[in-house]
Chains A and B, each alone.
Chain A
């Protein structure tokens, strides 16, 4: 730190959680310090990983155990110092530093969360991992922030806070861009009359957001009565109906979905319960009960090694002890037969076998970049990497047409960790690929279809968000690509992905549940995306960056809730029913399958039966299909908008 740098705020015991499952794992939470620093070039927020103290006797117990665990992992590596350096490097990569003028918004933890955390989001969409204040101090930090930026709370998401742009030049620029008060503003209105849909989604949502900002920025901080805001809107949008009681000012089109029911999740299937599911011959008594149980709560880790074999079609559901033994024997023979096929290819042969060479090269490169932060795959010369390699090579022989495609190593990795056995892992992986091989087709058609399906679902579930995305070049849902390709593998922590996958492998509560999970995640990000007015690149970046900070159980609950809403919706179009595998009733023949929505092309909005025109104003986001609006008290009054962070926070915790 130079002499010019002044520390405005400093707090120790601020952690980044990189593996939340394992509280015993010393590496799960990286300790660090948060600083707010006044530097010559600006005010910076920084988080720095705590340094590991050197190996002399001065270190604390915690550091000692940390070093030991490294030494344990790299058991061949006796050089504890170098492993400690490597550890420090791997921690420093989480260091955070940004100019607070780049801050766009931040998200706070829910009040019932154990300790407070803050997630910072920058103007370009960059989203940092949550900073967990184990020793408090988050409020104090935000108070410091207030000295430099104006902050308001989102009316739609009480955890979200937005930094208000207060550069006057920026304001006049937005005026110009909108041309709100120039002659051409009439243009917008006439456009609206001709094509209410596009005009509303593209133009007016900007207008309303914009007005909201202007109103908050008034010198005189007293709140304007809602009527006045409504008047302003009405002047520009003749004929608009404004609901006075409601507090948001977003123009939306609503799908009147039934309210979202409360969904509860259960406990994991325990070994004792699993044993009860088997009869004396080892046959599963009631597959449906079992699947329901797994869907609701997952599987206790120690019995995954058995239960996953059913879910991944290694064993059939009607197998018994005896048939399974035979099956295993066949699987072993088959596996080694195929493994020998590539193992016995000589170097000379390989020279004339470009396809194999290519695949070998790819697998080799990818295996060394698969889950290396997991203990199971950590350290140089880790034998488990060889097993990954051999299984993937053998899979190339098993399914030569498909071969190896990037992403497969991500899918195999958790399976191998659970199976701890090459042959079993191979067959379970092969079963998993049965489900997902469409994602890896040469023409990528399977991926395109699924992204288009998310689009269709979103259009019904939440037209407002859907049109926001469309009008920000994101209607192709490309930003969900990684989610779908490898079943959210990179989006959740390692132990969570095992839970998520076993839940999804039950094929409950419907077909393509993973698409509904995508909706649920996007629903949770909606306020962040829309209120920050993120465009294509910011959306992409934000969605990439929220990986590893998506709450799994909440997301699963929300997703099931959304499914139940859709299922109950009387006007659910047939094409949506087909995606979800619901009964297509013959009397609902006015379906939209007559005008399908291929990827990339805009949907035919005029004819869309599920959209209720004319548009009206309501308090936007909460209402568009999220049933919680009915039950939770509406905390989004306009007063909160003008609150200082401090009182907003007090409100929040009151």
Chain B
């Protein structure tokens, strides 16, 4: 925080109980609290990172996953620089809901082109024994969704947590570079706007 670094807003999404808050706390303070509460409202933590020798402050936003609180959660999507879509490998439904989360995010963050937005997908609780979502299936989903990077994490034993969060920054840099190379990018906006204004979406 003390130095000069670029502020990145990162939104953590996923079903209730998949481990969003635990991942955030592991990443930011390297702690895992087995007695933690479920999230009510919105919380965020800042973390300074260095990616490719550039300094960033990641401002990580964590919300409650239940459908009921959607209207109080979605205003926080605006202005996000990247989004971590999270499920738990022992919770099939949470994996199936990834598409819903992505759609909700794109709609309320008002992002035209979902494929050039940096999503990273996290399969959490990799330490548990009764895994229900095969890694291949998750990877296939990512491939079909703009080739988002995929990480299997454990907030509990800290597997891959650091890498997953930092990869969000890398992904952002990557996609920004790509946009710089393609100056004609603006031409595609119209089309995407059309598809976005689909009224049924997430409404």
Interface residues of A (CB under 8 A from B): 42, 86, 89-90, 92-93, 99, 101-102, 122-124, 126, 361-362, 365-366, 369-370, 372-373, 378, 405-407, 410, 440, 442-444, 447, 478, 481-482, 485-486, 490, 537, 540-541, 544
Q: A122-B1, A124-B1, A362-B16 are in contact. Are A442 and B68 (CB under 8 A)?
A: yes
Q: Can you pick out 6 interface pairs between chain A and chain B where the beta carbons lie within 8 Å of each other?
A: A362-B16, A372-B36, A478-B41, A481-B41, A540-B44, A541-B44
Q: Are B2 and A486 in contact (CB under 8 A)?
A: no
Give the contacting residue for A444; candidates B17, B34, B72, B75; CB below 8 A.
B72
CB distance from A267 to the nearest CB of B (A): 32
A92-B31, A93-B31, A361-B93 are known contacts; what are 17 more A-B pairs with Cβ within 8 Å?
Answer: A42-B2, A86-B34, A93-B29, A102-B2, A124-B1, A366-B17, A369-B37, A370-B37, A378-B35, A406-B40, A406-B66, A410-B40, A444-B68, A444-B71, A481-B41, A481-B72, A544-B41
Chain B residue numbers with a CB within 8 Å of A540 are: 42, 44
Residues of B within 8 A of A122 (CB): 1
Chain B residues close to A by CB (< 8 Å): 1-2, 16-17, 29, 31-38, 40-44, 46, 59, 64, 66, 68-69, 71-72, 75, 93
Give Cα distance in the complex from A405 to B70, angstroms.
12
Q: Chain A CB within 10 Å — which of B36, B43, B69, B93 has the most?
A: B69
A413 and B20 CA atoms in complex are apart in Å by: 23
Q: Which residue of B lies closest to A480 (CB)?
A: B41
Cα distance, A373 to B36, chains bound together (Å): 8
Give, as a whole number of angstroms, the nearest-CB distance from A344 to chain B.
Answer: 24
Q: How far is the CB of B10 from chain A (nearest CB, A)?
A: 13
Asked if A373 and B35 make an inter-chain contact with CB atoms under 8 angstroms apart, the answer reads: yes
Closest-CB distance, B157 to chain A (whole angstroms): 13
Residue of A nearest to B33 (CB): A93
Q: How far is the CA of A336 from the CA of B35 in the complex (A)?
A: 31
In the complex, what distance in Å separates the CA atom of A165 from the CA atom of B72? 35
Find chain B residues with CB under 8 A from A486 CB: 40
A95 to B165: give the CA distance in the assembly, Å.
Answer: 23
With a cutoff of 8 Å between Cβ atoms, the chain B residues found around residue A544 in the complex are 41, 43
Q: Chain B: which residue is nearest A443 at the CB level?
A: B71
- CB closest chain-A residue, reference B1: A102
A409 to B14, CA, bound (A): 20
The answer for the CA separation of A345 and B1 in the assembled complex, in Å, is 54
**Least CB distance, A73 to chain B, in whole angstroms:** 12
Inter-subunit contact B59/A447 (CB<8 Å): no
User: Could you say which residues of chain A place their CB within 8 Å of the CB of B34?
Assistant: 86, 89-90, 372
Q: Nearest 5 A-B pairs (CB), nearest first? A: A365-B17, A372-B35, A101-B2, A481-B41, A482-B41
The answer to whether B16 and A406 have CB atoms under 8 Å apart is yes
